[in-house]
Structure 1
Amino acid sequence: MSTPQRLETVRRLQTVMASAYATLGAWCLIHPYSVIALGFTPKYIAMSNATTYLFTRCFGAQAMTCGLLLGTSSMTAFSFTAFGLAMIPYIGWNFWFSGIGPSRGMINSLMWLDFIGNVFFMSGSLWCGKVLREEARKSSGEGGSEALLRE
């Protein structure tokens, strides 16, 4: 793959991740009841109350903000790598509440889609960071990865 193709793939992946964050965040913000109904087991759905819905909406607002920032920022190799590594606690959350930790049985099997999404965000971000580092090394005198992304 040529340099322009690799950089276009980075841009597209960034757009996909930003869109996913913003869309899923909007869903949590606008309709928290369906998010809770689809993601949690009946035992925990029964314990839902106004606070649960408020927290789900807050989570959605944060995800929308993350999507907005991810979609409008000029990401560097460092920022992609940091974003990818920041996904580790979310992957841990998936394991902790699905079958390994003391809260096993809290989320249902549909939440494995969240796990897959988190792995996608982590691996995609780390790959983008790697590509930008490699391209910056190739063009060592041309302003680095930030200049490459703007081309």
Structure 2
Amino acid sequence: MTLDGTANSSTRRTAKVMKTAQALVFLGLGGWCLLTPHMVEELSLKPEYQHLSDTTALLMGCFGAQAVLCGSLMPLSRFTAMTFLGFGLLASIPFFVFNAWFVWVVEMFTPLMLLDFAGNVSFFLIGIFGWRLMRHETTPV
């Protein structure tokens, strides 16, 4: 950090890379749900829970569209330390609860659903590291 409280170029570059990585996870997994909803349903849900109907494709596509929306807006947004913390900590908690419930308690998902869990872990870690990196900065990235 410089004396005036702005991020040095290395810090800003690292923060932008982290923000882009977070966006790519949203775009990748969300795009997969949006473009091939039945494939995602077949691979992520155990056979006894698969419906492979137009309705489940619609719901999976809606889920994917929300993720694509978020991933598309992230590169256009200016992140502060609190933005990283919000994405990394506050926004991750419901997803961890979702994963834990449907993977280990209800056991509806196949082990491939751990890709979603890994994505959520990446959001958490990027958010925490981004917050630590930017917590003394006054200029968003």
CA-to-partner distance for each residue in 1:36-62, whole Å, 9 max, x for gaps?
1111101111x3422111110001110
Mapped to 1, the partners of 2:78 and 2:71 lie a distance apart of 13
Normalization by structure 1: what TM-score?
0.82
After TM superposition, which residue ranges in structure 1, 4 or more long, deviate above 6 angstroms?
A: none
Using the TM superposition, give the Cα deviation of residue 72 of structure 1 relative to its aligned residue in structure 2, in angstroms: 1.1
Mapped to 2, the partners of 1:40 and 1:128 lie a distance apart of 33
Using the TM superposition, give the Cα deviation of residue 4 of structure 1 relative to its aligned residue in structure 2, in angstroms: 2.6
Mapped to 1, the partners of 2:85 and 2:139 lie a distance apart of 13
- 2:85 maps to 1:118: no
Q: How many matched pairs?
A: 134
CA-to-partner distance for each residue in 1:76-123, whole Å, 9 max, x for gaps?
1111111112111101111101112xxx22001111121111011111
Q: Percent identity, please.
A: 37
Mapped to 1, the partners of 2:31 and 2:113 lie a distance apart of 18
Aligned match of 2:68: 64
- Segments of structure 1 that go 5 or more residues without pairing to the other structure are 137-143
Give 1 or 2 for the bigger CA radius of gyration: 1
Contact kept? 2:38, 2:52, Cα under 8 Å = no
Equivalent residue for 1:41, pick from 33, 42, 46: 46
Higher relative contact order (Cα pairs below 8 Å, separated by 6+ residues):
2
Query: Which residue identity is paired with 1:8?
Result: R
- Segments of structure 2 that go 5 or more residues without pairing to the other structure are 1-6
Mapped to 2, the partners of 1:110 and 1:26 lie a distance apart of 17
Normalization by structure 2: what TM-score?
0.87
Aligned match of 2:79: 75
Contact kept? 2:95, 2:120, Cα under 8 Å = yes
Please state whether the residue corresponding to 1:99 is helix, strand or coil. helix
Contact kept? 2:25, 2:119, Cα under 8 Å = no
